[in-house]
Amino acid sequence: MEYQIKQYALEPGALEIQYIEEYFGEFPRRKTAAEIIERLHDRESLILMAEAPLPDDPSGALVPVSYKVVHEIRHDESVPKLRDLVDRLTGPVTFDGRRILYSWIGATRRDWRGQGHFRALTEESEVWALAAGFEEVVVKTKNRYYDMRAVLAQLHFNVIKHEPNVADSAESKVYLSKLLPAELTRRHRSVRTVVYSE
Ligand SMILES: CC(C)(COP(=O)(O)OP(=O)(O)OC[C@H]1O[C@@H](n2cnc3c(N)ncnc32)[C@H](O)[C@@H]1OP(=O)(O)O)[C@@H](O)C(=O)NCCC(=O)NCCS
């Protein structure tokens, strides 16, 4: 299978994510286009979306089925949420003199899960990250996101920090990371076509 990936510029990408997030029932608080633009407008970032045909549509038109947003995080962050993230990661992650990428949000529509779309987006983001000089990608999740934790294990992310929630361990936070050595892309498995949407 060849995965069809579209790389978006910030504003159309943010609108497309706002649209696709309507299809994810499991998150009570969905990201709006405005929040995405606010987070990404002054930092290096990548918005990728995988497209696939609807099963019953004879026209074969492609619809967005999976997305992923990654962005840089710096040791001198001033946005409170990112300052907090960098503080929590400092130690397990070395920020000084290294470019660190944060895998911020992403999901696949239910009917298209388990078909490799998220692997394809992740592998494409790693190609981009290497070319941009990033050395490590970090991600934050919670114990209760069992699908995401299983997928991150398959994609060879290593746990670097665990923040227990004593009242409810399902809510405990888990931080993971993956180093991006130059030879990483040789281990990539998905075949991908990428188009660029302005
Ligand atoms: C997590 C999620 C994005 C995965 O998307 P996906 O397109 O189904 O993932 P893929 O099909 O590309 O799978 C990637 C790898 O993980 C494996 N995998 C996928 N779902 C899995 C599951 N539920 N359990 C175990 N392994 C799984 C696949 O087999 C694949 O491994 P392989 O390539 O070595 O065979 C999707 O399940 C999702 O949207 N979940 C809800 C969102 C969420 O939980 N967010 C967490 C917030 S941090």
Any atom of ligand 1 within 6 Å of the Cβ of 108: yes
Residue nearest to ligand 1 atom 31, measured at CA:
154
Q: Which of 6-15, 55-64, 133-142, 165-174 has the lowest mean pLDDT?
A: 55-64
Ligand 1 centre from 129 Cα, in Å? 21
Residue of 31, 154, 187 best suited for mutating to test ligand 1, as the one with most atoms within 8 Å of CB? 154
Ligand 1 centre from 76 Cα, in Å? 32
* 116-153 pLDDT tens trace: 999 999 999 999 999 999 999 999 999 999 999 999 99
Which domains can be identified in the chain, with CATH numbers? Answer: 2-197 (3.40.630.30)
Ligand 1 centre from 158 Cα, in Å? 16
Neighbours of 106 (CB within 10 A): 20
Residue nearest to ligand 1 atom 34, measured at CA:
154
Shortest CA distance to 23 belongs to which of 104, 105, 103, 111?
111
Mode of pairing for the β-strands spanning 173-179 and 191-197: unpaired
- pLDDT tier at 28, thresholds 50, 70, 90: low
Any atom of ligand 1 within 6 Å of the Cβ of 115: yes
- pLDDT tier at 31, thresholds 50, 70, 90: confident
Rounded to whole angstroms, what are the CA distances from 16 to 55, 101, 181?
Answer: 21, 22, 31
> Looking at residue 43, what DSSP letter applies?
S
Any atom of ligand 1 within 6 Å of the Cβ of 164: no
Ligand 1 centre from 81 Cα, in Å? 26
- pLDDT tier at 27, thresholds 50, 70, 90: low
Query: Quick check: pTM over 0.85?
Result: yes
Shortest CA distance to 176 belongs to which of 160, 189, 152, 154?
160
